[in-house]
Structure 1
Amino acid sequence: MHSLLASIRIAAATMLICVAGYATAVWAVAQAIAPDTANGSLIIGPDGTIVGSRQVAQAFTRPEYFWPRPSAVDYDGAGAGGSNWSPTSSDLAERGREMAKRHGATPDNPLPADLAAASGAGLDPHISEAGALYQVARVAKARGLDQARIEGLIRRAAFSPGGFLTRDRIVNVLELNLALDRL
C-alpha cells in the first residue's frame, strides 16, 4: 500500500511539473517575447471587434477585394492541411484550370503560380506581390479607383519575409483588403 501511495504522489508531481509547469513556462516566455503572435496576431476593427488574424487566410470572393491562394481546407483554421494531390493529379489540374478561369488568365497573361496552388497547410494568409499586382485591374474596376493608387498600396504593404536574404516579396491579403477599405 505504501508503494502505491508513493507511486501516485510521484505521478501527480510529474504531471504537475511536466504538464502544468511546462505549459505555463512556455506561455509566459511567449507572452514576454512575442505577445501579439502568442495571442493569435488578431486584427481588431475600428469598432473593437476581431476582424481576423494575420496568420490565417480568409476567403474573399467579391471582385472588390484581393483573393487569397486557394485552400484545400476551405480556410478552416481548425483543420489545417493540404490536399495530398500529386502533381499528376487530374483534380489538381482541374483546380488550376478553374483558378485560371476565375482570375481571367490567358496565355498572354498567365496566372502567378501562388494564385492557382494552395499552400501546404491551406491557410497561408499571404500572396506574392506579383499575385496581388495581377489582381489590380479587377479590384480597381470594382471599386472605381485608379490602378496606380492600388499598385502603390500593394508596394507599401509588400515585404520580404527573409529580410535581406530574399528578393521575393509577399503581401498579407487581409491587411491589404482592410487598407483598401480605408481608402
Structure 2
Amino acid sequence: MKNYIIQSIRLTLVLIVLLCILYPIGIALAGKLSKGNGGGEKITKNGKVVGYALLGQSFTKPEYFWGRPSAVAYNAAGSAGSNKGPSNPDYLKDVSNRIDTLLKYNPGLKKSEIPADMVTASGSGLDPNISEQGAKIQIERVAKARKLDEKKVKELVAMNTLKPFLGLFGPSSVNVLKLNLALDSL
C-alpha cells in the first residue's frame, strides 16, 4: 500500500512539473515565435490596425466581398457556432434569408451556384476566409459597384487565393479582409 502512495505522489509531481510549468512555457515560446508574437497577425492600413488575419469581419456594402456569416456577430469574446442543426426551423429560415440576400445583390447568380460557406456560419463564428467559389460568385457585383473591369477583379481574387497546404490539405480559400484591402488599394 505504501509503495502505491509513493508512486502516486511521484507521478503527480512529475505531471505537475510537465503540465503546469513546462507545457505552458513551451506554448508561450511557440507563440512568441509565431507571426504577431502570439498576439495574432495584425493587418494594418496607413499605420492603423484594421483587423486580424484570423478573425472575420462584417462587410455588407456591395463594393466589398462579403465574408462568411457569423453566429456571434463577429464578436471574438463570444466565439461560438449557432448550435442549430439542419432540422431546426430557425436555422433553415436564417439560411434561406442569406440565400435570398445573395441572390438579390448578385443578379444572374443561381441558387445552385451558392457554396455552403456563404450561407452557413463556421463553428467559431469568426472564420476570416471564404471558399474560392464564394469569392468568384461575388466578382460581378463588386466589379459593377466599383466600376472596375471584371477581369481585374478576377485577377485580384486569384492573387489573394490561398492554395491548399502542400497542394493536398484543405480547400482553396480567400481571406476576405486582405482581399477587400487589396481592392481599396486599386
Q: Return the TM-score normalized by structure 1.
A: 0.82
- The Cα shift of 1:109 comes to 1.2
CA distance, structure 1, for counterparts of residue 140 and residue 108 of structure 2: 17
CA RMSD of aligned residues (A): 2.4
- Are 1:101 and 2:104 matched, yes or no? no
Unaligned ranges ≥5, structure 2: 1-15
1:52-131 to 2 correspondences below 5 Å: 52-104=51-103, 109-110=110-111, 111-131=114-134
The percent identity for this pair of structures is 39
Alignment deviations for residues 21-54 of structure 1 (CA, whole Å, 9 cap, x no partner): 754443223213x1336221111112x1111000
- The Cα shift of 1:161 comes to 3.6
- The Cα shift of 1:174 comes to 0.3
- Are 1:170 and 2:169 matched, yes or no? no
CA contact (8 A) 2:136 2:157 kept: yes
Q: In the superposition, relative to structure 1, how do residues 43 and 90 fare at CA in structure 2: closer, same or farther (>3 Å)?
A: same
- The Cα shift of 1:118 comes to 0.6
Alignment deviations for residues 121-146 of structure 1 (CA, whole Å, 9 cap, x no partner): 11000000100010111111110111
Length, aligned pairs only: 168
Give, as a single letter, the amino acid of the residue that structure 1 aligns with 2:48: T
Alignment correspondent of 1:3: none
Unaligned ranges ≥5, structure 1: 1-14
Q: In the superposition, relative to structure 1, how do residues 167 and 56 fare at CA in structure 2: closer, same or farther (>3 Å)?
A: closer
CA distance, structure 1, for counterparts of residue 37 and residue 142 of structure 2: 30
Q: In the superposition, relative to structure 1, how do residues 24 and 180 fare at CA in structure 2: closer, same or farther (>3 Å)?
A: same
CA contact (8 A) 1:64 1:139 kept: yes
Q: Secondary structure at the match of 1:104?
A: helix
CA distance, structure 2, for counterparts of residue 35 and residue 162 of structure 1: 18
